[in-house]
Amino acid sequence: MDLHRRHRWDLTPKEAVALQQELRAEVVTDRPLDLAGVRLVAGVDVSVKENVSQAAVVVATFPGFETIEVARAVRPTPFPYVPGLLSFREGPVLEEAFGKLTVEPDVFVFDGSGYAHPRRIGIACHMGLWLGRPTIGCSKTRLTGRHDEVPPEKGAWAPLLDKDEVVGAALRTRASTSPVFVSPGHLIDLASAIDIVMACSPKYRLPQPIRLAHNAAGAFEPGPDLFGRSTDPDRP
DNA sequence: GCGACAG
DNA sequence: ATCTTGTCGC
């Protein structure tokens, strides 16, 4: 891991913004990442239970999505939720989980934004700097930017524009459901990020790595409830 | 000053 | 994120 990018996390919101301004220059979002070379993908997510955050990083084969490793970490939640500063809330517990990995995933998919951020350094970019590995941001809702209506077919997408700059894409990973928001994290470009997220979404709205991480983080239990309805947010 | 605002 | 019941559509 790249120790040079480590830094303290106990900052005030104001200091956190200043740090983001420093780190944004280090983020690389113009590098293609060939799908054909991907063997292992990791999903990253954090669940919060009463001041306690639990992180889960699930490494799975690609394609096939067989889990080969799960790294977890539990810590008191250190920072409030502030739009634009999510990495300062989830970063510490994620670092601990990342430190437990014994394999090196080819790409990490985050439940959150990457470059599609007001200062162009969402959690996927920030943690990508720490990991020194390719990362992708994939959120369920929009943090910043606007986009035209996305065609209804699976795979269709529309550029996410913020201040006349393409910062990501609204991507239809599944027909008849709202699009997800994809943006480069670090060491990858937007086109490659879109390709990978689509390749990771054979059936559900959210890419498989994120679903696996979501489960491992304890956000929801799988299987139908007592009424025969699905408990899975991404299964109608 | 008024909205918008990942998880 | 988490809380929380039923309901609508493919």
Phi, psi of A47 (to 5 degrees): -115, 150
CA distance A33 to A106: 9
**CA A174 – C1' C7 distance (Å)?**
22
A111 is in an annotated binding site: yes
**CA A152 – C1' C4 distance (Å)?**
30
Q: What angle do CA A4, A75, A182 make, to 5 degrees?
A: 65
The residue with tokens 């293609």 is A32
Neighbours of A159 (CB within 10 A): 15
Residue A63: cis peptide before it, omega within 30 degrees of 0:
yes
- Each domain of chain A, given as residue ranges in start order, spans 38-216
Nucleotides of C under 7 A from a protein CB: 1-2, 6-10
CA distance A111 to A123: 9
Predicted pLDDT at A50? 80
C-beta of residue A99 within 8 angstroms of C-beta of residue A87: no
CA distance A40 to A189: 18
CA distance A106 to A78: 29
**CA A55 – C1' C5 distance (Å)?**
29
**CA A140 – C1' B1 distance (Å)?**
30
Q: In DSSP terms, which residues pair with A53 in a beta bridge?
A: A48, A75
The residue with tokens 């999510």 is A86
Strand B reaches within 7 A of the A112 CB: yes
Q: Of all nucleotides in the shown strands, which has a C1' nearest the CA of A140?
A: B6
Tell me yes or no: is domain A38-216 CATH 3.40.50.2300. no
A45 is in an annotated binding site: yes
Cβ burial of A236 (10 Å; 0-12, 13-18, 19+) is exposed
pLDDT tens, chain A, 236 aa long: 454 678 999 999 999 999 999 999 999 999 999 999 999 999 999 999 989 999 999 999 999 999 999 999 999 999 999 999 999 999 999 999 999 999 999 999 999 999 999 999 999 999 999 999 999 999 999 999 999 999 999 999 999 999 999 999 999 999 999 999 999 999 999 999 999 999 999 999 999 999 999 999 986 443 443 333 444 444 44
Angle between helices A123-131 and A13-23 (to 10 degrees): 60
Predicted pLDDT at A227? 38
Residues 6 or more apart from A206 whose CB is under 8 A from it? Answer: A138, A140, A173, A180, A214, A234
Helix (H) or strand (E) holding A68: strand A67-76
